[in-house]
Amino acid sequence: MVKFTELNISESTLKSVRRMGFEEATPIQEGTIRLGMEGKDIIGQAQTGTGKTTAFGIPLIEKIDTRDGNVQGLVIAPTRELAIQVSEELYKLGKDKNVRILSVFGGQEIGRQIRALKNRPQIIVGTPGRLLDHINRRTLKLENVNTLVLDEADEMLNMGFIEDIQSIMSNVPETRQTLLFSATMPDPIRRIAEKFMKTPEIVKIKSKEMTVENIEQFFVKSVEREKFDILSRLLNVHQPELAIVFGRTKRRVDELAHALNIRGYLAEGIHGDLSQAKRMSVLKQFKANKIDILVATDVAARGLDISGVSHVYNFDIPQDPESYVHRIGRTGRAGKKGVAVTFVTPREMGYLSIVERTTKKKMEALVPPTADEAVIGLQRVAVEQLETMTEKNNLGSYRELATEMLEKHDAVDLIAAALKTLTKDPEDAPVQITEERPLPSRGGGGYKGKGGGRSSGGGYKGKGGGGRSSGGGYKGRRESSSSSRPSGGGRPGRTRRHES
């Protein structure tokens, strides 16, 4: 481990880094900061949550000439939320140097952005569409840009974004330095990327697996219609601090968020059809722990860094393995522990194998908790609620009522009744979840990613639907249940339920 003080970083940036609480560089930071400061083009690949933002952020900040009011650095990110997050981190890194940073993204009033662009920002962080918009309106001039960063490069070089990226790049001088970062970089995408770069250094942090070790990974085999009850039971047993539930479609996300609310959880959905204001407010509430469960499509997966996310549930198994890596990577960040649970319908078992081949990590079969076990989780929460209330010591007139009641009833009976009232069995509440069609059966055909151009799983010949012998983990609930339960069950009851 190298300390930031050993990396030849300027005093002002070092001061900012120290203020952020960083002392030792993570491996990707150690591997790329020096090279980046030497002006090299870099393809940086390292697991989720290992500090890639700072890895490109420091060389970028160091290169800015603060006497020059032109845009000198451009960062492109796939989503608005990520653009905001990256600009915030760059702001912190450049605070002591007084670097001016601006984020631009769709959904935000363009007039306001145009005015902000006149304040001579030196680094722009933006999403492809809005950046192009500003380029075309000539409100953004890129002829002085000497550093270009693509965060989540593989996602953006996927079909759909590639033309936008190319147009943006054609407005940036060729003499620029180009930095490309992502946790995943399928070979064909990397080859495309190299075309935009000058003999890039490939810094790939070697690890046995593509996902971080501190995430415990499980799968639950379940038919579609039972998934939701299993999810609620898991939530009751795990008691996540914060959880993200991923669904395949927007309708799915809306229905799941609604159903979770009916079952008493504080959940909100986030997906591309929501207004920018709504997306931002949901994320803000989640970060402030006002919501416990964020239900999301893949939009929210890439790059988001939200501390406290202890559990990720893939209510639907993602179609491509890269999505899986990014989704579960929302937990287990910066060395913290996390749990990921992926639901798989019997017909989708082939996809599970594809994911495992890509990540080089086997998921453990998880035995779903029974309704009784889930109730035990809820009871524990009720006990904690009562205890917290008692400790707060502001019960006022309730104490008089309690004294009166104690004259008539047994104390144990009374507490038991209070606990029972607090422990509402959620499965009584009916919910509506439309069945999703399972992913197309994995026959012998090659794996087709979103863009058609990805082929990381191409050579895989699915074993049909039943590629995995799930017998071991499933039968024999007794012996396997203790070993296959994710830890974290002992967490203090955090997932609050609506008080009604």
Ligand X SMILES: Nc1ncnc2c1ncn2[C@@H]1O[C@H](COP(=O)(O)OP(=O)(O)OP(=O)(O)O)[C@@H](O)[C@H]1O
Contact string (CB under 6 A) for ligand X, positions 169-198, x = contact: --------------x---------------
79 touches ligand X (CB under 6 A): no
**Angle, to 10 degrees, between the axis of helix 250-262 and the axis of helix 227-238?**
60
Contact string (CB under 6 A) for ligand X, positions 34-53, x = contact: ------------x-xxxxxx
14 contacts 94 by C-beta, under 8 angstroms = no
Residue nearest to ligand X (CB): 51
| Nearest distance from C-beta of residue 303 to ligand X, angstroms | 4
| Nearest distance from C-beta of residue 285 to ligand X, angstroms | 19
Edge to edge, what strands does the sheet with 267-270 contain?
267-270, 293-296, 242-246, 309-314, 338-344, 215-221, 364-365
Contact string (CB under 5 A) for Mg ion, positions 294-333, x = contact: ---------x------------------------------
331 touches ligand X (CB under 6 A): no
130 touches ligand X (CB under 6 A): no
DSSP annotation of 307 reads: T
User: Which one of residues 159, 223, 277, 334 is an interface residue with ligand X (CB under 6 A)?
Assistant: 334
305 touches ligand X (CB under 6 A): yes
327 contacts 259 by C-beta, under 8 angstroms = no
| Nearest distance from C-beta of residue 418 to ligand X, angstroms | 40
Q: Which two tokens stand for residue 304?
A: 């988001």
Contact partner, 79, from ligand X, Mg ion, none, Cβ < 5-8 Å per class: none
Report the residue number, 52 or 248, with the smaller CB distance to Mg ion.
52
Q: Across the strands, what pairs with 201?
A: 42
Q: Which two tokens stand for residue 482?
A: 């203790």
Tokens 């549930």, residue located? 313
Contact partner, 51, from ligand X, Mg ion, none, Cβ < 5-8 Å per class: ligand X
215 touches ligand X (CB under 6 A): no
Report the residue number, 180 or 375, with the smaller CB distance to Mg ion.
180
Contact partner, 361, from ligand X, Mg ion, none, Cβ < 5-8 Å per class: none
| Nearest distance from C-beta of residue 75 to Mg ion, angstroms | 11
Report the residue number, 78 or 303, with the smaller CB distance to Mg ion.
303
Radius of gyration of the chain (CA): 25
Contact string (CB under 6 A) for ligand X, positions 256-295, x = contact: ----------------------------------------
* DSSP H or E stretch at residue 103: strand 101-104
32 touches ligand X (CB under 6 A): no
- Cα separation, 167 vs 243, whole angstroms: 38
Residue nearest to Mg ion (CB): 303
- Cα separation, 234 vs 242, whole angstroms: 13
User: Which one of residues 78, 247, 318, 329 is an interface residue with ligand X (CB under 6 A)?
Assistant: 329
User: Which one of residues 34, 52, 221, 227 is an interface residue with Mg ion (CB under 5 A)?
Assistant: 52
Q: Which two tokens stand for residue 394?
A: 């502001």
Residues in the chain: 500
- Cα separation, 94 vs 60, whole angstroms: 9
- No. of H helices and E strands in the chain? 19, 14
* One-character DSSP codes across 326-352: HHHTTSS-TT--EEEEEEE-GGGHHHH
Report the residue number, 46 or 382, with the smaller CB distance to ligand X.
46
* One-character DSSP codes across 156-214: HHSTTTHHHHHHHHTTS-TT-EEEEEES---HHHHHHHHHTSSS-EEEE---SSSS-TT
| Nearest distance from C-beta of residue 214 to ligand X, angstroms | 12
| Nearest distance from C-beta of residue 153 to ligand X, angstroms | 11
54 touches ligand X (CB under 6 A): yes
What does the angle CA 50 – CA 55 – CA 56 come to, to the nearest 5 degrees? 135
| Nearest distance from C-beta of residue 344 to ligand X, angstroms | 23
Chain residues that interact with Mg ion, rule: CB under 5 A: 52, 303
Please report, as ranges, the residues that interact with ligand X according to CB under 6 A. 22, 24-26, 29, 46, 48-54, 183, 303, 305, 329, 333-334
